[in-house]
């Protein structure tokens, strides 16, 4: 991706764009600090330059000030090289030559952790030089190519090296040479420090603007995934390790006060760049070359301090409220499946509704939210025989929450209660299947939707009570629509009926067609669906003893829905003409059918109203 392909920045018209512009204009008055001159080329910076950029986890950018100025990244390169070393060699190898303890000394102090014979941490020069040593290839050109490739992937566009700054640093970087030779002497790095320093000076001389750096910071916020390209640059574990060291060691010898005041993992560099990370949310980058005595950008610190304070982003001040994780809880008493039931069936279901409990979840699921869900599920499992966790509205599940769900699944199962997880969004399917498969995932994931779990529960109750016999062929006299008719009347109807069999998926009636017949299901289940977008939506289902397509009797118009066989189905069909004939010859039969029809319609309306009343 090159810069032209990036999503456009959201400038003044956006809330955050305006916020940043005000911040930059307020803090421009802060005219204290000095430009670093120990690398002569850095001394050429313009002290009035001041830019800020934010890149959010969804890849939106906000910027203000001279945010497009390209300057050398300097020490802000260190966390990324450290991440690359961790991904390439693993923690154990890296920890042998560089630790994670803050030094409390200046960034370029000539000190080593003598007790462990390694550099103190990768954010000071000694540790960064060791890291560069790990990543040094056979030739400087190879090392440079690898390093630039890494930084370009992190920024989401091709980056370059500022050669004048590189040469300037190369010519004057004797202190870094001294540190490197000290480490050669200690046996921490190989006796070829020139190649290593070449890479180190080049990594410090990579040119970035505020958006590049904010995108790189955001990659760390997103557990290693670049926000513009979606590429996984670092593993989540490595990203966590990088952020940990940035938190404790990222701001030179101001690190302790920084965490106290700002509370975000961050890294600064002597060119005047600071990047800060709000894990999971965004990356922030500031450029202003006026430095304080420690080497941090004066305005950069102030921007971070205000931003963290204004939006409550200090990582130790997290105000996550797990209360919203449970959207609603209902039993099969308040909510019925879309399946129409006969009067007799409804009476049975009324008594058993409390044995099914659905818990609808929402938002991100993390430890505290999942713990709340676990508690609520355990309560439900004491009362109900089937407990469903509906994840339709869950945005994300972290590792801790997944582990809790896995434990809920195994615990609930041992308690004579069926536990199902439904409505799993596609993006979470793989993670959940993996977490739950260890424990009988097939049963837990048996129903794609709460609706299907609810229908199965109702079927189970009805079968258990003998109210429906799966596979029985219903006689016409048992159909709700013919209730109240005597044997002779039924015989009249039988003569008028034709019987049809259907296989799963067969269309019995089609939306928009002329309505020519009324159907009564003798066996199986028929789904009633309506067209929705390019597919259909199931709005109801009817089983043995129930009629569908009966509106035709009232208005003889066109079909308002499809009817599709859910499995093997047998139906009795009555042609509208035949019914008209019956109305003429046997008006009392017609009157009974009409009154049954009106009752069934008013029942359905009442049920729909009740459901609306429950959920508002």
Residue 258 makes contact with ligand GLU by CB under 6 A: no
Residue 189 token pair: 């790095």
> In angstroms, rounded to a whole number, what is the distance separating the alpha carbons of residues 87 and 301?
30
Sign of the dihedral defined by the CA atoms of residues 477, 481, 483, 489, in that order: negative
Residues 395 and 10: their CA atoms lie apart, in Å, by 25
Minimum Å distance from CB 39 to ligand GLU? 6
State yes or no: is 78 an active-site residue.
yes
User: Crossing angle for the helix pair 576-585 and 487-496, nearest 10 degrees?
Assistant: 140
75 is catalytic: yes
Question: In Å, how far are 233, 344, 458, 508 from 479, measured between CA atoms?
Answer: 64, 11, 19, 19
**Cβ count near 52 (within 10 Å):** 29
Position 120 contacts ligand GLU (CB under 6 A): no
Written as one string, the DSSP assignment of 549-603 is: STHHHHH--B-SSEEEESSSEEEEEEEHHHHHHHHHH-HHHHHHHHHHHHHHHHH
- Residue 75 near ligand GLU by CB under 6 A: yes
Minimum Å gap between C-beta 175 and ligand GLU is 7
Return d(Cα 429, Cα 435) in angstroms, integer: 10
DSSP assigned state of 473? P
CB of 177 to ligand GLU, least distance (A): 11
Catalytic position from the list 55, 76, 78, 373: 78
Looking at the Cβ atoms of 169 and 357, the one nearer to ligand GLU is 169
Among 103, 108, 126, 297, binds ligand GLU (CB under 6 A): 108
Q: Which one, 269 or 300, has the nearer CB to ligand GLU?
A: 269
What one-character-per-residue DSSP string does 180-224 give? HHHHHHTTSS-S-HHHHHHHHHHHHTBEE-HHHHHHHHHHHHTTT
Q: DSSP alpha helices (H): ranges in 438-486?
A: 441-444, 450-465
Catalytic residue among 200, 366, 447, 519: 200
Query: Does the protein bind ligand GLU through residue 87 (CB under 6 A)?
Result: no
Query: Could you say which of 24, 100, 208, 270 is catalytic?
Result: 270
239 is an interface residue for ligand GLU by CB under 6 A: no
Is residue 103 near ligand GLU by the rule CB under 6 A?
no
Minimum distance between the CB of residue 295 and ligand GLU, rounded to whole angstroms? 6
Separation of alpha carbons 161 and 143, rounded Å: 13
Beta carbon nearer to ligand GLU, 219 or 296:
296
Site string for ligand GLU, 375-414 (x = CB under 6 A): ----------------------------------------
Among 98, 130, 189, 204, binds ligand GLU (CB under 6 A): 204
107 binds ligand GLU (CB under 6 A): yes
By CB under 6 A, residue 451 contacts ligand GLU: no
The distance of closest approach from Cβ of residue 448 to ligand GLU in the complex, given in angstroms and rounded to an integer, is: 54
Selection from 384, 437, 379 nearest residue 409 by Cα: 437
Comparing C-alpha atoms, which of 282, 271, 289 is closest to residue 307?
282
Q: How many residues lie near ligand GLU (CB under 6 A)?
A: 11
Judged by CB under 6 A, which of 66, 176, 422, 600 binds ligand GLU?
176
Nearer CB in complex with ligand GLU: 65/295: 295
Given the complex with ligand GLU, which of 6 and 78 has the nearer CB atom? Answer: 78
Pick the closer one to ligand GLU by CB: 123 or 474: 123
Output the smallest distance, CB 391 to ligand GLU, in A. 46
Q: Are 41 and 213 in contact (CB under 8 A)?
A: no
Minimum CB separation of residue 57 from ligand GLU in Å reads 27
Task: Determine contact, residues 153/225, Cβ cutoff 8 Å.
Answer: no
- 390 — phi, psi (to 5°)? -100, 115
Q: Which of 75, 77, 288, 337 is catalytic?
A: 75
Pick the closer one to ligand GLU by CB: 122 or 295: 295
Site string for ligand GLU, 322-351 (x = CB under 6 A): ------------------------------
- Taking alpha carbons only, the member of 92, 95, 91, 149 closest to residue 127 is 95
Structure tokens at 167: 């040469």
Residue 270 sits in the site that holds ligand GLU (CB under 6 A): yes
220 close to 237: Cβ distance less than 8 angstroms = no
Q: Provide, rounded to whole angstroms, the least separation between the CB of residue 149 and ligand GLU.
A: 20
Among 41, 66, 74, 546, binds ligand GLU (CB under 6 A): 74
Residues in the chain, total = 616
Cβ 114 to ligand GLU shortest distance, Å: 22
Angle between helices 140-155 and 210-221 (to 10 degrees): 80
Residues 215-234 vs ligand GLU: string with x where CB under 6 A? --------------------
CB of 46 within 8 A of CB of 289? yes
Residue 252 falls in the annotated catalytic set: yes
Q: List the catalytic residue out of 252, 287, 366, 519.
A: 252
> Rule CB under 6 A: which residues touch ligand GLU?
74-75, 107-108, 125, 169, 176, 204, 269-270, 295
> Active-site positions?
75, 78, 200, 252, 270
């Amino acid at each position: 991706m090159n810069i032209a392909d990036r999503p456009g920045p959201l400038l003044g018209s956006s809330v955050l764009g305006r916020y940043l512009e005000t911040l930059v204009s307020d803090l421009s008055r802060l005219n204290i600090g000095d430009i670093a001159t120990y690398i002569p080329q850095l001394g050429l910076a313009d002290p009035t330059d001041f830019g800020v950029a934010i890149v959010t986890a969804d890849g939106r950018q906000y910027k203000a000030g001279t945010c497009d100025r390209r300057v050398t990244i300097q020490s802000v390169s260190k966390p990324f090289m450290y991440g690359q070393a961790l991904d390439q060699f693993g923690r154990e190898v890296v920890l042998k030559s560089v630790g994670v303890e803050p030094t409390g000394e200046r960034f370029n102090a000539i000190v080593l952790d003598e007790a462990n014979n390694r550099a103190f941490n990768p954010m000071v020069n000694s540790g960064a030089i060791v890291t560069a040593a790990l990543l040094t290839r056979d030739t400087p050109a190879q090392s440079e190519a690898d390093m630039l490739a890494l930084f370009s992937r992190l920024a989401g566009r091709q980056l370059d090296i500022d050669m004048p700054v590189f040469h300037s640093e190369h010519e004057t970087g004797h202190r870094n040479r001294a540190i490197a030779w000290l480490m050669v002497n200690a046996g921490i790095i190989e006796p070829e420090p020139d190649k290593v320093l070449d890479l180190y000076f080049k990594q410090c001389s990579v040119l970035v603007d505020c958006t590049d750096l904010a995108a790189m910071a955001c990659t760390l916020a997103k557990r290693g995934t670049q926000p513009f390209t979606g590429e996984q640059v670092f593993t989540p574990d490595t990203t966590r390790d990088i952020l940990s060291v940035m938190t404790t060691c990222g701001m030179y010898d101001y690190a302790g006060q920084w965490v106290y005041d700002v509370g975000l993992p961050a890294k600064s560099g002597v060119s005047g760049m600071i990047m800060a990370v709000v894990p999971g949310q965004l990356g922030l980058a500031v450029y202003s070359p006026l430095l304080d005595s420690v080497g941090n950008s004066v305005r950069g610190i102030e921007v971070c301090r205000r931003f963290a304070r204004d939006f409550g982003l200090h990582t130790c001040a997290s105000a996550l409220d797990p209360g919203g994780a449970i959207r609603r809880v209902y039993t099969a008493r308040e909510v019925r499946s879309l399946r129409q039931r006969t009067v007799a069936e409804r009476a049975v279901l009324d008594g058993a509704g409390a044995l099914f409990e659905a818990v609808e979840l929402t938002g991100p699921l993390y430890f505290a939210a999942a713990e709340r869900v676990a508690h609520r599920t355990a309560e439900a499992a004491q009362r109900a025989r089937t407990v469903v966790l509906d994840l339709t509205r869950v945005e994300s599940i972290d590792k801790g929450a997944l582990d809790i769900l896995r434990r809920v699944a195994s615990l609930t199962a041992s308690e004579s209660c069926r536990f199902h997880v439904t409505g799993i969004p596609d993006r979470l399917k793989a993670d959940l299947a993996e977490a739950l498969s260890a424990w009988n995932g097939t049963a837990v994931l048996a129903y794609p939707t709460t609706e299907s779990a609810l229908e199965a529960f109702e079927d189970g109750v009805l079968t258990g009570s003998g109210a429906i016999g799966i596979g029985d062929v219903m006689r016409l006299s048992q159909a709700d629509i013919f209730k109240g008719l005597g044997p002779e009347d039924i015989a009249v109807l039988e003569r008028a009926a034709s019987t049809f069999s259907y296989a799963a998926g067969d269309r019995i009636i089609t939306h928009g067609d002329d309505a020519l017949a009324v159907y009564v299901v003798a066996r199986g289940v028929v789904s009633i669906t309506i067209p929705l977008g390019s597919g259909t939506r199931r709005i109801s289902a009817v089983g043995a003893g129930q009629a569908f397509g009966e509106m035709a009797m009232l208005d003889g118009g066109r079909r308002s829905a499809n009817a599709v066989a859910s499995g093997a189905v047998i139906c009795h069909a009555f042609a509208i003409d035949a019914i008209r004939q019956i109305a003429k010859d046997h008006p009392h039969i017609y009157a009974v059918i009409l009154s049954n029809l009106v009752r069934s319609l008013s029942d359905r309306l009442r049920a729909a109203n009740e459901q609306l009343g429950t959920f508002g």
